[in-house]
Chains A and B, each alone.
Chain A
Amino acid sequence: MNKRSSWSLPYLVFLILFVVLPLILIAVYAFQDSQGHFSFQNFVHFAQQPEAVSTFLYSIEIALITTILCIALGYPAAYILSTPSLNRSAVTIILFILPMWVNMLVRTLATVALFDFIHIPLGEGALIFGMVYNFLPFMIYPIYNTLLKMDNSYIEAAEDLGASPSQVFWKVTLPLSMPGVWSGVLMVFMPTISTFAISELLTMNKVKLFGTVIQENINNGLWNYGSALGLIMLVIIGITTAITNGKDKMDAEKGGII
């Protein structure tokens, strides 16, 4: 028993050093002024700066738009991939997942080069394109998985009870695949809200996202303020996770996932 638990020791040390300690440091820095005294000064500063708040809201907006576009594009793709009559080849699914094998920065730089080549101006449009392009596989995969594992007898039962193919989709397939959609949302929304590399590259630093602001502050030695911003973002992500997890659990209880 004791021997067993000692196996987890290295992981425990790792987690403390690289997850717990940094989190504590962020929290500590966030609640300190530049002299090292406890204060709410950083948060007050954030609230008083309309520019910072609007960047924050703008980031959420961009993340939401990206997530919605990913659902709109990813769901039909996942549906087609998981339907044997529509997709007979395993190659297609690999092609959809393949971009994930390439480093995100490389892909983004390639996108920049491509846009440059076909003379599309970089900016907000390019940013959203880049985000959707980068995160789409993260939406497709969980939905595809849920659809693939769905028991075909539910669809047969719905047809049997008089549901036309479109009614089968809206009343059975879609509700039963929602757990996959929620996992996808979690996997797209969270990273997009904190991303900064994509926005820097695809907008030539013209559009600032919250992630960019944090990075700039830290880079400029404003650790306390940067930590406070980081903490605010963590809380937002935490809330999103809690909401989607709650949804997930509800659906899982109804047998949606796995």
Chain B
Amino acid sequence: MANNDVIIKIEHLSKSFDDKKVLNDINLEVRRGEFVTLLGPSGCGKTTLLRILAGFIASDEGTVSLDGKDLLGVPPYRRPLNTVFQRYALFPHLDVYDNIAFGLKLQNVPEDEIDERVRKVLKMVVMSDYEERDVESLSGGQQQRVAIARALINQPKVLLLDEPLAALDLKMRKDMQIELKEMHRKLGITFIYVTHDQEEALTLSDTIVVMNGGKIQQIGTPADIYNEPVNSFVADFIGESNILNGTMLSDRRVNFIGHDFDCVDEGFGENVPVDVVIRPEDIYIMNNTEKTQFTGTVNSCTFKGVHYEMFVDTDEGFEMQIQDYNAFEPGSHVGLIIKPSDIQVMHKERTCNTIKGRVIDAGHVELMGTSFECDAHDFEPDSEVEARIDFDKIDLLDDKEDGTLTGEVGFILYKGDHYHLTICIDEKSANYLYVDTNDVWDKCDMVGVRILPEDIHLGRPKAAPLGKAEGLEAIP
């Protein structure tokens, strides 16, 4: 990683399937020899990005260059990249040897050189003596090794791996992770690895690219991503975390869960709403309730092997997840401390719903393709408006028929004393509502949405919209 030269450069890459944006303005640089992981939930666009790199699908917009040369115009069979497929895709009509030698035979490499290289690569993946075996008779882990060997033997400039370990059991996966890391170190080939497993990403990568909703959320080293998540999505997706609403009082001073804390963040301004992330292992828990920053009552305590996981209800009514090597009995009153450096403060992506709409008449406005009752007598009919609706002023209803709108529950974020939900109204036109609620909903629940007329605040649209359309969207 000492050298900084860029091998792959992706600029403004976009891709839509049936009007649905799966990749939205992706910009990424990969350095030579780097182990980069594309990490995100299913449907975030990570596999699409990998398949564009491999050449199996074309992009709509943007450029990709490899070693400074355009890659997108090159057919897949001429790209100096090789892929390890999720379900291996080993040729069932060929044995292990012929599968691995497939690429070399196409290049008309002399027989004895093929022989030598196949033997060498089989040794590397610890599969010597398996040359004659039928690929179907191999176990999942062995097939995976053959697939890696088949890709590596061509000495690609970049190796693309599409969730290669997803089909293996936990123990095997852990072993293969170590081996992959070792192979990467020995070979010095650039690896681009796709996974939805955050732990795998943290273990393997030099750089993690967190993706969601077709956009890159954060690029950084595993430590950066874990310790300094840029938004609540990343914080929630990577590892366990307490994500809370807070207010930045001044530089290095933040208020959340009803208390003021010292922190190390500066430059947010005064009295600015922020998101605060505390990792469960960063909260110190003790029986002594004096001289601690805040106190609470242990709700549950579960042994997790190395540590205990506890949920503590603070006296102010917030639920905190805490990990500690010592167990504290449920019901016991405990004192809690958080160090300033363990408080991660993030800008809020939004503080209320901002929706563009159109006035129908003095009493109605059209938002997201639906007519809503509200006071619009200050506005000309048919004029463009911007509606602002607070997160907690939107009612979600069990019965879809009762609501003005229907939506699907997407990303769910627990904020200590309430849930922050992303409700997808219309995936195609990227209409999302963000709702604070105390009710428990599950992902993919269909809900009715009701907004009272007095909670819709209309305003003239700003010349340069900073609203939701341009913001970071958390898509299920």
Interface residues of A (CB under 8 A from B): 151, 153-154, 156-164, 167, 171-172, 175-176, 178, 251, 253-256
Contact = CB atoms under 8 A, between A and B. Distances in A.
Interface residues of B, number: 26
Given A154-B91, A176-B92, A163 B77 contact: yes
A157 B91 contact: yes
Given A157-B85, A176-B91, 9 more contacts: A154-B91, A156-B56, A156-B76, A157-B83, A160-B77, A161-B106, A172-B91, A254-B134, A255-B92
A161 B85 contact: no
Contacts of A254: 92-93, 134, 136
Contacts of A158: 91, 102
Contact of A160 (B54, B90, B91, B134): B54
Contacts of A161: 77, 82, 102-103, 106, 150-151, 154
A176 B82 CA distance: 22
Given A176-B92, A253-B134, A255-B92, A160 B82 contact: yes
B106 A167 contact: yes
21 contacts: A153-B85, A154-B91, A156-B89, A157-B83, A157-B85, A159-B55, A159-B75, A159-B76, A160-B77, A161-B77, A162-B154, A163-B77, A164-B77, A167-B77, A171-B106, A176-B92, A176-B93, A178-B93, A253-B134, A254-B136, A256-B92
B139 interface: no
A251 to B, nearest CB: 7
B87 interface: yes
Contacts of A164: 77
Given A253-B134, A254-B134, A254-B136, A160 B76 contact: yes
A255 B95 CA distance: 12
Interface of B: 54-56, 75-78, 81-83, 85, 87, 89-93, 102-103, 106-107, 134, 136, 150-151, 154
A196 B151 CA distance: 55
Contact of A163 (B82, B85, B87, B106): B106
Contacts of A253: 134, 136
B51 to A, nearest CB: 9
A251 B92 CA distance: 9
A153 B91 CA distance: 10
Contacts of B103: 161-162
A156 B151 CA distance: 13
B89 A256 contact: no
Contacts of B150: 161
Given A162-B154, A253-B136, A157 B89 contact: yes
Contacts of A151: 87, 89
